Amino acid sequence: MYSIMDNLPTIIQGGMGAGVSSWRLAQAVSQLGQLGVVSGTALDSIFARRLQDGDPGGHMGRGLDQFPIPEIAERVWSRYYIPGGKAETAPYKLLPTHSKDIPLELKELCVVANFVEVILAREGHHNPVGINYLEKVQLPHLPSIYGAMLAGVGYVLMGAGVPLKIPGVLDRFANHQPATYSLQLTGAQDDDDRAMVFVPREFVGRDLPPLVRPKFIAIIASNTLAITMLKKADGRVDGFVIEGSTAGGHNAPPRGKLQLDEAGEAIYGERDSVDLEKIRALGIPFWLAGGYGSPEKLTAALASGAAGVQVGTAFAFCRESGLRADYKQALLAKALSGDVRVFTDPVASPTNFPFKVAQLEGTLSEHEIYSARPRICDLGYLREAYRTPMGTIDYRCSAEPVTTYVSKGGKVENTAGRKCLCNALMANIGHPQTRSGKYVESGMVTSGNDLTGIARFLPPGASTYTAADVVADLITGISFRASSRQDVSQPAAAPTFCSGD
């Protein structure tokens, strides 16, 4: 077990995109002395939509005021802010979609949006805050990470891919040095230029003091990947989150040929479990995730040598999370009545990774709602970059209109059952796109299998619970560790672990 001298969190509140682990949730968890993690996925779109909703509460404006290059903050504000908010039936402004050479408007928005999310999550306490990215969503990586680092992010956590080159990016950005990231390109040839480049000094146009290099935690699901990360990463890896197949969001696909059970869910077996003895032997801290949201599981994780646990589902349905209140309430009510079901959909996500979907009326988990949606791809975060026959780079998504996808060389069989996660996830957090003043995008809630048990966080007689309820529940039984950190009944007290600050 790690000593408190290591200053490591016992509980990591897992990053939950898009916008479910918003600055409010991460702030609440970090205030309690554990690690709050904002989701860095699609923050540019989320930020632009918050401004178009009139910036309720003035939080985005407050974050923007702290951005170190005021002229960039001013440009972003004037591009998107609508006083009083857009009319309900008016559509949100469409942003340019991401591409290898990101347009300046989008680059500025990305840097600023990541900065603001982190700076707000850091308000009111002195503890570190983390940010989570999906490796597969590569195009926004460089400006996003730089923006988060400008705001003093303490941890960068990344999964859904093999993030070998991220540690090196963190090292370079700490000194405002240029960084590159190689785009995954289907059909790439050796001489293709796949380098995405971000040059901080060119972007900020002035000298800034060095930044803190955040700790880097890779989210993995196999021993092989742990070893690969340690051997081949181009910089320091500070820890691992070992995530099992019951976790919410995307899951690593099962090893070997994909097999489905009678219900159509991916089957995971012995080969998918991680040998924790071997992980422990690597000698760096690790946290366990996927069904670890209980005191018993936390105690078991600590006993196995883990520094703690990463928990998502329990936090996704608490008051501070960004998930729409009506979806939270409906799923909490189902959990209370024992009528809740989570389906591990093998095809819904254009990433081709199994994706967990909570079954909920009025969302894309229902066949009729899914079939009634026109296939439109206008956010594009999950697009795959591919080499065209002309040798140029183009982008396609298996959830876009089938003819378009096929005309770009995509296989028709890849399109069946695909869902537009980008639009659904924006709808989940209260920013649904409206089309022609009539069609409003529906959401689709992801959750881990632990959804069945979340009602136990409800205090007696209450219909909602808070992040503090979750943390208090989890640390029951490990009070010797908790008391060395912070009394969870005392919000925003002194820092209890430090790094990156």
Which stretches of the chain bind ligand FMN, using CB under 6 A? 14-17, 20, 39, 41, 132, 134, 159, 219, 243, 246-249, 289-291, 293, 310-313, 316, 446-448, 450
Q: Report in angstroms how near the CB of residue 167 gets to ligand FMN at its nearest.
A: 17
Q: Report in angstroms how near the CB of residue 428 gets to ligand FMN at its nearest.
A: 8
* Choice between 272 and 450, CB closer to ligand FMN: 450
Tell me the H-state helices in 233-366: 276-281, 295-303, 313-316, 325-336
Q: Which amino acid would we find at residue 232?
A: K
Contacts of 291 (CB under 8 A, 6+ apart): 244, 246, 247, 297, 448, 449, 450
**What is the number of residues in the chain?**
501
Would strands 215-220 and 239-243 be described as parallel, antiparallel, or unpaired?
parallel
Token pair, residue 115, equals 């900065």
Q: Report in angstroms how near the CB of residue 384 gets to ligand FMN at its nearest.
A: 18
* Choice between 342 and 393, CB closer to ligand FMN: 342
Q: Which amino acid would we find at residue 379?
A: L
Please give the Cα distance from 220 to 160 (Å, whole number): 8
Q: Report in angstroms how near the CB of residue 389 gets to ligand FMN at its nearest.
A: 34
Q: Report in angstroms how near the CB of residue 446 gets to ligand FMN at its nearest.
A: 5
Q: Report in angstroms how near the CB of residue 288 gets to ligand FMN at its nearest.
A: 9
Q: Report in angstroms how near the CB of residue 220 gets to ligand FMN at its nearest.
A: 11
* Choice between 200 and 248, CB closer to ligand FMN: 248
Residue nearest ligand FMN (C-beta atom): 312
Tell me the H-state helices in 376-491: 402-407, 421-428, 467-474, 479-482
- Unique residue bearing structure tokens 């909920």: 360
SS3 of 272-289: HCCCHHHHHHCCCCEEEE
Token pair, residue 87, equals 């009319």
HSE on the CB side for 432, CA within 13 Å?
19
* Choice between 12 and 119, CB closer to ligand FMN: 12
* Choice between 14 and 254, CB closer to ligand FMN: 14
* Choice between 67 and 240, CB closer to ligand FMN: 240
List Cα–Cα distances, 215 to 139, 225, 237, 352, 417, in angstroms. 22, 18, 7, 29, 38
Q: Report in angstroms how near the CB of residue 11 gets to ligand FMN at its nearest.
A: 11
* Choice between 39 and 144, CB closer to ligand FMN: 39
Q: Which amino acid would we find at residue 107?
A: K
Q: Report in angstroms how near the CB of residue 289 gets to ligand FMN at its nearest.
A: 4
Contact 266, 259 (CB under 8 A): yes
Q: Report in angstroms how near the CB of residue 356 gets to ligand FMN at its nearest.
A: 7
Please give the Cα distance from 94 to 225 (Å, whole number): 37
* Complete edge-to-edge strand list for the sheet that includes strand 215-220: 11-13, 308-311, 286-289, 239-243, 215-220, 155-159, 129-134, 36-39
* Choice between 43 and 72, CB closer to ligand FMN: 43
Contact 233, 164 (CB under 8 A): yes
Q: Report in angstroms how near the CB of residue 17 gets to ligand FMN at its nearest.
A: 3
Q: Give strand ranges (E) for 109-236.
A: 129-134, 155-159, 179-182, 195-198, 215-220
* Choice between 105 and 473, CB closer to ligand FMN: 473
* Choice between 159 and 200, CB closer to ligand FMN: 159
* Choice between 157 and 488, CB closer to ligand FMN: 157
Please give the Cα distance from 217 to 132 (Å, whole number): 9
